[in-house]
């Protein structure tokens, strides 16, 4: 028996539904308050308000995604919904660069007409942006610091409480790590996949060494340099096969994902063409895309700040574009997934899975 849909007693008016009277009256120009209206301050306010609205939607999508992953088991259908949430965030991120394009129709001199009225307000005080970072999994120790002050120090009391409380909740990184650790194909019964994979890696490294040794175009010093790089790659692979070595990388801050989760993520990428692993692959790829898009946006923001204020300090007291540039390079969450390519080997070298394992990874229905 289907549920009856609730009916409205009164007709709904467009402006009331969107609360346009509030929305369109929310652009109070500080320059007008001091008696010298600056034309481009309207542009500045609307673009930043639009960012905050998109931030709200990103948080909405992240919260829905985290609810899916808080369950003990993430069904394949729900994982598909998770991919949809991430892909929506990616599309929102595409707008960020366009909004900066619109902002840059304002010249530096136009900005100077009202910039002094903004002190000390700045993007440092965007509580929603900090909530996005925390929800994704940015830890305080991972952030690029500004003058050794806590990242939330410039927020008001109410916003600081909200943002710091978010640090204590399981982040998307935490939930994804736990989900990866539950991947059933890390151990494949009697089949020792990782031993076979290690042999394939050794064969690949041997071929790489032979290419270096027999390359007539390389000088002796160039060969030595490439051999050293090859040894570094071998060390990375050694950590993949030895949990103690990997834990050392975690202690040094080189890696963050657990050893088991990293191996699961690698397996998903290597065998992404198997039906049961394709949606997990899309999910992990989307996480990397979002991480990279935020970095690109931070960097674009840094370039805009340099264009607008040169070497002046930002309105929030930071070093302006220099701080933003360093934060773009430093503030990432899913670097482990980005760096998975370190452990990739050609498809032709991958261990061949047994028919039983392939059957488990495939669709159960067959025409036989």
Q: What is the DSSP string of 195-246?
A: HHHHHHHHHHHHHHHHHHHH-TTS-HHHHHHHHHHHHHHHHHHHHHH-HHHH
pLDDT of residue 150: 85
* pLDDT at 316 > cutoff 70: no
Q: What angle do CA 281, 285, 287 make, to 5 degrees?
A: 120
User: What's the length of the chain?
Assistant: 368
Q: Which residue has the higher pLDDT, 6 or 175?
A: 175
The per-residue pLDDT for 102 is 96
Q: What is the pLDDT of residue 72?
A: 77
**CA-to-CA distance for 296 and 97, rounded, in angstroms?**
9
If 0-12 CB within 10 Å is exposed, 13-18 middle and 19+ buried, where does residue 159 land? middle
What is the spatial distance between Cα 102 and Cα 297, in angstroms, rounded to a whole number?
14
Paired strand residues for 146: 149
Q: What percent of the chain has pLDDT over 70?
A: 92
Per-residue pLDDT band for 286 (boundaries 50, 70, 90) equals very high
Residue 318 pLDDT exceeds 60: no
Region 342-365 average pLDDT: 78
Average pLDDT, the chain: 88
| pLDDT for 124 | 84
What gap in Å lies between CA 137 and CA 335, rounded to an integer? 11
Q: What angle do the packed helices 275-309 and 321-330 form, to 10 degrees?
A: 170
**Beta partners for residue 188, in sequence order:** 191
Give the confidence band of 313 by pLDDT, cuts at 50, 70, 90: low
Q: Which two tokens stand for residue 308?
A: 């607008």
Mean pLDDT of 186-197: 75
Note the pLDDT of residue 41. 97
Q: How far apart are CA 268 and CA 332, in angstroms?
A: 22
Q: Return the CA Rg of the chain.
A: 26
Average pLDDT over residues 317-324: 61
Residue 81 has a pLDDT of: 96
Q: How confident is the model at residue 279 (pLDDT cuts 50, 70, 90)?
A: very high
> Is the confidence at residue 185, as pLDDT, over 70?
no
pLDDT at 314 over 90: no
Q: Which residue bears the tokens 């001091």? A: 34
Helix (H, G, I), strand (E, B) or coil at 352: coil
Distances from the Cα of 202 to the Cαs of 195, 231, 271, in angstroms?
11, 12, 19
Per-residue pLDDT at 360: 73
DSSP 138-205: --GGGSPPBTTB-TTTTS-HHHHHHHHHHTTSPPHHHHHHHHHHT-TTSSBTTB-HHHHHHHHHHHHH
Q: Stretch 39-66: mean pLDDT, rounded?
A: 97
Contact 237, 343 (CB under 8 A): yes
pLDDT-derived band at 203, boundaries 50, 70, 90: very high
Cis, bond preceding 120 (omega within 30 deg of 0): yes
What's the pLDDT score for residue 73?
Answer: 86
First-to-last CA distance in the chain? 38
Range 293-321 average pLDDT: 76
What pLDDT shows up at residue 86?
98
What confidence score (pLDDT) does residue 296 get? Answer: 92
Q: What confidence tens digit (pLDDT) does each residue in 90-133 have?
A: 999 999 989 999 999 999 999 999 999 998 888 889 999 999 99
Tokens of 356: 């039983």
Domain formed by 40-113+122-361, architecture: Up-down Bundle (1.20)
User: pLDDT at position 317, please?
Assistant: 46
Q: Quote the DSSP letter at residue 217.
A: T
Look at residue 84 and tell me whether its pLDDT is greater than 90.
yes
Which residues touch 303 (CB under 8 Å, ≥6 apart)? 321
pLDDT at residue 1 is higher than 60: no
Residue 315 pLDDT greater than 70, yes or no: no
Residue 326 has pLDDT above 90, yes or no: no
Q: With bands split at pLDDT 50, 70 and 90, how would you rate the model's confidence at 306?
A: confident
Q: Say if CB 177 and CB 204 are below 8 A apart.
A: no
* Kind plus residue range of the DSSP H or E element containing 274: none
CA pair distance 334, 336, nearest whole angstrom: 5
> What pLDDT shows up at residue 363?
59
> 86 or 311, which is more confident?
86
Lowest-confidence region among 109-118, 181-190, 316-325, 326-335: 316-325
The model's confidence at residue 321, banded by pLDDT at 50, 70 and 90, is low
């Amino acid at each position: 028996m289907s549920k009856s849909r609730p009916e409205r007693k009164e007709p709904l008016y467009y402006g009331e539904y969107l609360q346009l009277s509030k929305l369109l009256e929310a652009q109070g120009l500080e320059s007008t308050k001091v008696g010298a209206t600056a034309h481009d301050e309207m542009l500045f306010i609307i673009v930043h308000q639009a960012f905050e609205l998109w931030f709200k939607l990103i948080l909405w999508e992240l919260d829905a995604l985290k609810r899916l992953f808080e369950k003990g088991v993430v069904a394949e259908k729900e994982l598909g919904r998770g991919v949809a949430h991430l892909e929506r965030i990616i599309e929102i991120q595409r707008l960020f660069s366009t909004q900066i394009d619109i902002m840059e129709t304002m010249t530096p001199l136009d900005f100077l007409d009202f910039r002094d009225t903004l002190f000390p307000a700045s993007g440092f005080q965007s509580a929603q942006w900090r909530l996005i970072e925390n929800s994704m999994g940015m830890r305080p120790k991972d952030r690029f610091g500004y003058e050794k002050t806590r990242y939330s120090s410039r927020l008001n009391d109410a916003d600081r409480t909200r943002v710091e409380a978010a640090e204590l909740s399981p982040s998307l990184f935490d939930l994804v790590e736990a989900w990866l650790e539950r991947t059933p194909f890390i151990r494949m019964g009697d089949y020792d996949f990782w031993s076979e994979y290690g042999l394939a890696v050794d064969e690949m490294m041997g071929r790489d060494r032979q290419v270096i040794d027999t390359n007539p175009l390389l000088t002796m010093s160039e060969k030595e340099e490439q051999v050293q790089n090859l040894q570094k790659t071998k060390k990375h692979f050694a950590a993949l096969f030895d949990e103690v070595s990997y834990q050392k990388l975690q202690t040094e801050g080189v890696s963050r994902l657990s050893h088991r989760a990293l191996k699961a993520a690698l397996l998903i990428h290597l065998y992404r063409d198997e039906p049961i692993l394709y949606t997990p692959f899309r999910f992990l790829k989307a996480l990397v895309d979002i991480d990279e898009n935020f970095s690109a946006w931070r960097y674009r923001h840094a370039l805009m700040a340099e264009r607008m204020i040169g070497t002046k300090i930002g309105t929030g007291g930071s070093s302006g574009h220099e701080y933003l540039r360093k934060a773009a390079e430093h503030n990432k969450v899913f670097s482990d997934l980005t760096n998975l390519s370190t452990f990739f080997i050609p498809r032709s070298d991958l261990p061949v899975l047994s028919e039983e394992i392939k059957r488990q990874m495939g669709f159960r229905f067959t025409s036989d």
